[in-house]
Amino acid sequence: MQSIFKKAKRIVFKFGTNALSADDGSLALSRLYSFMEDIAVLHQQGKEILIVTSGAVGVGRRILGLSGQEDGVSFKQACAAVGQTSLMKTYEDGFRDLGIVAAQVLLTEDDFSNRSRYLSLRDTLGRLLELKCIPVINQNDTVSPNELRGYKEKGVKVCFGDNDKLSALVASGMDADLLCIMSDVEGLYNADPRKDKKATLIHQVKGVTEEIEALGFCASSRGRGGMKTKLEAAKVVTRCGAAMIIAYGKKHGAVGEVFGPSFKGTLFLPVEDLPGKKAWLAYATNVTGSIKINAGAKKALCEKGSSLLPAGVVDVTGDFEPGDTVAIYDASGKEVARGLANYSASDSRKIMGCRSEEIAKKIGFKNYDELIHRDNIVLL
């Protein structure tokens, strides 16, 4: 376990609202300073650090003297606008005292789903790391109501509704070796520790299987995430070649402890190393439509890694253009893959069920034999 921490060169830390808050909801300043001191030690050792921080809404709420009962999205956005500057100033001042330059980066889901913005984000973050800065990242809550609303919006899957997923996208997009989620839970338990006294901590997980996913029952008290979103983050990160830990972060020196001999949380081992474009396709894009395939096509995709031909398609929904990301469902309605469509939704509807030789006859042209080429398909 220790060797994973030692070898990790690029590390993303995610500090949840709970890890950064005192019991009365105020920013736990000395705790945050202790995290920055521990991070400075790692930085000194040559590690590249990125931070994904929550806390803007909570800090803003206190500055504005709001009670927390004001539930509307625009209230939270206003709180985030007020709180973010104050939160960032704390990081900036703290790191400056430690001889480190912090850089603020605020992101929305579009910065991931739009490939050119995503590539530009990667370049900028890479440059910041080269300059030995520590990027301090949060969701750009003020301009993106989706982020503060939650997961699903009008049936379209959004990239992230919480900072757990954001930190996973940052870690996978930046090819990090390790994501450390510092939370108010000690890790993943085999039962709900609030209800079951016999619940024990799982120290190591290899692969976020359905059984592991079933353990995602604990919600977080203040932040938006919970164990479920942390397990989703683990799925993304471990398929993209990195390890992830969940550790208790509501105490002084919690970051240092992760890298010391007494680490107590849950470690998720890497299981796969999806190449960059496929990782983006699987986790960072928004799907604009979906394609249902028959059993034969599913077998070809999942077992042989084949392309998706129009003949295997039984239904097309949504409105997409060539190059857009579509979800691929099997006959039972389970999403099995994602891919970049070669034809628009309306053309796909006209050619579904046909042999590739019939494409030109049906829509008047044929640029590709496949509806989705295998290089542009990633299995989920």
- Could you say which of 42, 51, 57, 233 contacts ligand GLU (CB under 6 A)? 57
Is the distance from CB of 189 to CB of 264 less than 8 angstroms? no
Q: 45 near 65, Cβ under 8 Å?
A: no
The rounded distance, in Å, linking the Cα atoms of 70 and 53 is 23
Query: Regarding beta strands 204-206 and 266-269, do their DSSP bridges make them parallel or antiparallel, or are they unpaired?
Result: parallel
Regarding 224 and contact with ligand GLU (CB under 6 A), the answer is: yes
SS3 6: helix
Q: How far is the CB of 162 from ligand GLU (least distance, A)?
A: 3
- Separation between Cα atoms, residue 187 and residue 349, nearest integer Å: 46
Considering the complex, what minimum distance in angstroms separates the CB of residue 229 from ligand GLU? 8
> How far is residue 20's CA from residue 250's CA, in Å, rounded to a whole number?
7
Residue choice 94, 173, 187, 223 for contact with ligand GLU (CB under 6 A) = 223
Q: Which of 21, 55, 78, 359 binds ligand GLU (CB under 6 A)?
A: 55
Minimum Å gap between C-beta 63 and ligand GLU is: 13
Q: What is the closest distance, in whole angstroms, from the C-beta atom of residue 87 to ligand GLU in the complex? A: 7
For helices 163-173 and 115-130, the axis angle rounded to 10 degrees is 80
- CB-side exposure of 353: number of CA atoms within 13 Å? 5
Q: CB-wise, 16 or 173, nearer to ligand GLU?
A: 16
Q: For residues 163 and 325, which CB has a smaller minimum distance to ligand GLU in the complex?
A: 163
Does position 163 interact with ligand GLU (CB under 6 A)? The reply is yes
Closer to ligand GLU by CB, 17 or 290: give it: 17
Contacts of 63 (CB under 8 A, 6+ apart): 82, 83, 86
Helix then strand count (H, E) for the chain reads 16, 15
Under rule CB under 6 A, which residues in 111-140 are in contact with ligand GLU? Answer: 138-139
Q: Which is nearer to ligand GLU, 79 or 188 (CB)?
A: 79
**Smaller CB separation from ligand GLU, 200 or 221:** 221
Minimum separation from the CB atom of position 62 to ligand GLU (A): 12
Q: Judged by CB, which is closer to ligand GLU: 221, or 346? A: 221
Looking at 220-228, 243-251, 334-342, 357-365, which segment touches ligand GLU (CB under 6 A)? 220-228
The smaller minimum CB distance to ligand GLU, of residues 22 and 119, is found at: 22
CB of 196 to ligand GLU, least distance (A): 26
What ranges in the chain are assigned the alpha helix state H? 2-7, 17-20, 29-44, 56-63, 73-97, 110-113, 115-130, 145-149, 163-173, 210-213, 227-239, 254-258, 276-279, 295-304, 345-351, 359-363
Q: Per CB under 6 A, does 54 bind ligand GLU?
A: yes
What is the spatial order of strands in the sheet that 10-15 belongs to?
A: 102-107, 134-139, 48-53, 10-15, 178-183, 243-248, 266-269, 204-206
Nearer to ligand GLU, 222 or 366 (CB): 222
Residues 6+ apart with CB under 8 A from 23: none
**Which member of 12, 13, 15, 17 binds ligand GLU (CB under 6 A)?**
17
354 contacts 346 by C-beta, under 8 angstroms: no
Q: Which residue lies nearer to ligand GLU by CB, 32 or 57?
A: 57
Residue closer to ligand GLU (CB basis): 216 or 276: 216
CB of 234 to ligand GLU, least distance (A): 16
Compute the distance between CA of residue 297 and CA of residue 371 in angstroms, rounded to an integer: 12
Residue 141 within binding range of ligand GLU, rule CB under 6 A = yes
Binding mask 70-109 for ligand GLU (x = CB under 6 A): ----------x-----------------------------
56 binds ligand GLU (CB under 6 A): yes
* CA atoms of 178 and 230, how far apart (whole Å): 14
Provide the token pair at 30: 């000395």
Interface residues with ligand GLU (CB under 6 A)?
Answer: 16-17, 54-58, 80, 138-139, 141, 162-163, 223-225
